[in-house]
Each structure stands twice: as C-alpha cells, then as structure tokens.
C-alpha cells in the first residue's frame, strides 16, 4: 500500500506532521483479550449503569418508562425490515416503506389529522419544524409559545427561529395551564402560530379548544405538542381545532436509551401537505396492478434546490417508527385506551397518596394525565438522591425548569407502577423529610 501511494516507508507517510505533534510511544491500551474475556469485561462495565430495569421509575419530564411488549423487539428484527435506515432507493425497500406508511396512518388516526410524515428526529425538532412551517405558510414571523411547554422544546424552537429570521415570544401560565388572558393580549395579525403542549410539562391538560378559537380569530395556526399515550383517553387535538399536531413518541414501544434515538411525529391538515418537512410515503399500484409503496413527497434539500426545500431535515427515525407501529398494532384501540386509563388512575392515586402523607402540598388544581406537580416540605434534590440509593428514580425537580417552583416535584406514573411502589415512594418521602 505504501509503494502504491508513492512512499518508501511508514514514517514518510506522516512527514508533513510536525515532530512536536507525534506521540513517540505506544498507546496506553490494555493487552489483547479473547472473546469470552471481552464479553465478561463489557458486562462488568454495563453493571455500572443504573436503568429502569434496576430501579422503580417515577421520572418523566419528556421521557417515560412504559412497558414494551417483548414481541416489539422480535418483529423489528425480521428480515423484511433489514434495509437501509432511510429509503434512498425506495422501490427496493418495500418492507420499510410499508412500515412507514402504516406509522403515518396510525399517527393520523391518533391525532385526528389528515396527513403525517415519515417521522422526525424527536419531539423537540418536530415542534420547531412546525413553528417554521407555520411562519412560511402564513407569511408571518411571530410565534407565541406557552411557558408551560417543555423548556427543552422551547430552547430548540428558539434556536430554529433565530437562524430563520423568526421571533418566538413566551406567554405565561396560570394554575399550571397556559395563561389565556395573556395570550389574548399578545395575539395580533402578525402572529403566525400559537404553540401549546397538552398534557404540558407540569402534567396539566390544556384547554386546546379555547386556544384554537383565540388563535384562529387572528388568522394564526395552532400547533399542539402532545403525549400520544394520552390520546387513547383524551379527545384528539384535531377534533379540538389544531392545525398541526406533533410530539415525542418514545413512549410507543421505544426504550429510554440514555436519551436517544427518539421519535418525533408530525401530523397536519391536507392543505399543509406540501409544506411538511421530511418525507411522506404513499400507497399506489404498479403497471400490473400490484400494490406498492413509494416516496410520494420528499421536498428535502437532498432532492430539490435548497431554497425550495421545506426543511433541511434529511432523514427520519425509521426503526423507532417501526417499533411504534408494532406497539400500536399489538395494543389496538382498546389496549391503548387501557394503558392510558391505567396511567391516569395510578397517577391520581399517587397524587392523593403523596398529598395525604403530610409532606407534600398541591401546586396546581388543573386536571392532569400521568404526570403531576407537587411541592415537598423538605429538600427535593436531597430526596431524589436518597431515593436513588434505595432503588427509586424520583420525580423531576421542577425548580430546575422554573426557579419559582422551589422544591417542586414533577412525578410521572405509568402503567408499570404498582400500588405497593407508590405507597413505598410516599413512605420514603416522609422518612427523608427534614433529614
């Protein structure tokens, strides 16, 4: 190889690199290991991680510990899905294309919308893309975003807006929900869209219908970010007047995975179809009448001129979307409703139990789904550290997102949690209060 490249020896290959930058010693690497030794070593390293298989999890704030049926992992590894992660040669990726088509169909049914794309990187980028699309569609530059939205999502939306010449203004919250009086004062003919999250960051369910009326009265679009599990129980945002519905679908058959990869979904009305970011898979028939799947729309900068592209989002989360599709297919309508009901009922029991323990007080009176916010009478950060030692992942410290919520605790309760685990959480909270 050196001879073919025109070098006499290995050192001459690096002759242009300054002597001071050369290492001149062997790398600090361990001795070679056999395969059994490598496996044993890696397993010992993995045991240093603490996950939801080792702990009882009450932590949410955007990522949730839902049960994943074992069939999901088995089906996602089938041969027909072992194509490229993204269908660059779509006609030979029929398994992947069909899975994406089914994902789009399920998202439309869940959200009450008419068209959905093949998925997004995560819920935050989906919301940011929705805000950008609304500015393009309305030819306006201003987006009003509820302070009750996930603060990480708000940061992503602001970053997108900054580099696209758009403006994001926050409006406050009242009793854990979007402050509709402040929203009404801020709305004008310059408003492109109103962004809300329901259930929101604090767990409260927003009045989507009322926000829709206010936004549409000024010609603005309504963008709703939602938890897809909640749609097994709550009215869909589409029914309540949303123009675009987005969200994080990690909860649909995807594990927590240290924060990724996750799965954003993006659904809208037919009138916005050609403005959607990413790609859309469609179903058609070939010249022989056989059913097939194609990339119907892909107005991405990889395919058309950048100035004409709907977005520079280049890909989709095909494997995560496949997991979500299988998860929803396994559960069906009744199964998803049962999961949602269990979340809601167990969250209500947990909230009542914590408030009844004497060391918590309510923060908001607004209705909630599977997450709620309470205030601890001790140090909530110290409580979380103590709980972790006992194998419990406590709630999210709300003051990290909102300094006014001193010792606030955002507790997530999924269908996996048991009465005994909830009772133990309350008992430990009492035990550690004041320590």
- In the prediction, which pLDDT does 308 show? 67
Facing residues of 281 across strands?
295
- In the prediction, which pLDDT does 97 show? 87
- In the prediction, which pLDDT does 229 show? 98
CA contacts within 13 A on the Cβ side of 375: 12
User: Residue 405 CA to chain centroid, in angstroms?
Assistant: 24
Facing residues of 291 across strands?
285
**Is 163 buried (19+), middle (13-18) or exposed (0-12) by CB count in 10 A?**
exposed
Ordered domains of the chain (ranges, CATH): 56-66+333-432 (3.90.1150.10), 70-327 (3.40.640.10)
- In the prediction, which pLDDT does 24 show? 86
Give yes or no for a contact between 195 and 143, defined as CB atoms under 8 angstroms apart: yes
**Is 211 buried (19+), middle (13-18) or exposed (0-12) by CB count in 10 A?**
buried
Give the containing element (helix H, strand E) for 281. Answer: strand 280-285
- In the prediction, which pLDDT does 30 show? 87
229: helix, strand or coil: helix
3-state helix, strand, coil in the chain (%, to 5): 40, 15, 40
- In the prediction, which pLDDT does 279 show? 87
- In the prediction, which pLDDT does 295 show? 85
- In the prediction, which pLDDT does 313 show? 73
Q: Where are the beta strands (DSSP E) in 320-430?
A: 360-362, 371-376, 392-393, 396-397, 408-412
pLDDT tens, per residue, the chain with 435 residues:
999 999 999 888 888 999 999 888 989 998 999 999 999 999 999 989 888 988 999 999 999 999 999 999 999 988 777 655 566 666 677 888 889 999 999 999 999 999 999 999 999 999 999 999 999 999 999 999 999 999 999 999 999 999 889 999 999 999 999 999 999 999 999 999 999 999 999 999 999 999 999 999 999 999 999 999 999 999 999 999 999 999 999 999 999 988 888 999 999 999 999 889 888 999 999 889 999 898 888 765 556 666 666 676 766 788 899 999 999 999 999 999 999 999 999 999 999 999 999 999 999 999 999 999 999 999 999 999 999 999 999 999 999 999 999 999 999 999 999 999 999 999 999 999 866
């Amino acid at each position: 190889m050196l001879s073919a490249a025109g070098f006499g020896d290995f050192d001459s290959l690096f002759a242009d690199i300054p002597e001071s930058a050369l290492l001149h010693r062997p790398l600090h690497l361990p001795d070679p290991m056999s395969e059994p030794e490598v496996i044993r070593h890696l397993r010992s390293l993995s045991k240093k991680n603490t996950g939801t298989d080792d702990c009882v999890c009450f932590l949410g704030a955007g990522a949730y510990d839902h049960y994943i049926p074992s069939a999901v992992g088995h089906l996602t590894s089938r041969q027909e899905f072992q194509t490229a992660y993204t269908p660059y040669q779509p006609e030979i990726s029929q398994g992947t294309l069909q899975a994406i088509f089914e994902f789009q169909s399920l998202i439309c049914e869940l959200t009450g919308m008419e068209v959905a794309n093949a998925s997004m990187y995560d819920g935050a980028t989906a919301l940011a893309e929705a805000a950008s699309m609304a500015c393009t569609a309305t030819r306006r530059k201003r987006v009003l975003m509820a302070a009750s939205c996930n603060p990480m999502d708000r940061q992503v939306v602001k970053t997108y807006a900054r580099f696209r010449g758009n403006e994001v203004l926050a409006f406050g919250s009242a009793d854990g929900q979007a402050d509709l009086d402040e929203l009404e004062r801020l709305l004008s003919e310059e408003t492109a869209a109103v962004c809300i999250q329901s259930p929101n960051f604090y767990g409260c369910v927003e009045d989507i219908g009322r926000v829709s009326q206010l936004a549409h009265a000024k010609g603005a679009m309504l963008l709703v970010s939602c938890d897809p599990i909640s749609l097994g129980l709550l009215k869909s945002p589409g029914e309540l007047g949303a123009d675009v519905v987005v969200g994080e679908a990690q909860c649909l058959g995807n594990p927590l995975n240290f924060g990724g990869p996750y799965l954003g979904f993006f659904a809208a009305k037919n009138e916005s179809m050609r403005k959607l970011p990413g790609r859309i898979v469609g179903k058609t028939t070939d010249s022989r009448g056989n059913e097939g799947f194609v990339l119907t729309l892909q107005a991405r900068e990889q395919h058309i001129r950048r100035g004409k592209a709907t977005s520079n989002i280049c890909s989709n989360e095909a494997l995560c979307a496949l997991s979500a599709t299988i998860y929803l297919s396994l559960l069906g309508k009744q199964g998803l409703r049962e999961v949602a009901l269990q979340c809601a009922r167990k969250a209500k029991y947990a909230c009542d139990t914590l408030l009844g323990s004497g060391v918590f007080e309510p923060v908001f009176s607004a209705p909630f789904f599977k997450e709620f916010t309470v205030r601890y009478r001790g140090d909530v950060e110290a409580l979380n550290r103590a709980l972790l030692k006992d194998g419990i992942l406590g709630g999210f410290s709300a003051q990290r997102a909102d300094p006014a919520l001193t010792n606030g605790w955002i507790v997530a309760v999924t269908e996996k949690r048991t009465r005994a685990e909830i009772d133990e959480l309350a008992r430990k909270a009492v035990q550690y209060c004041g320590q």
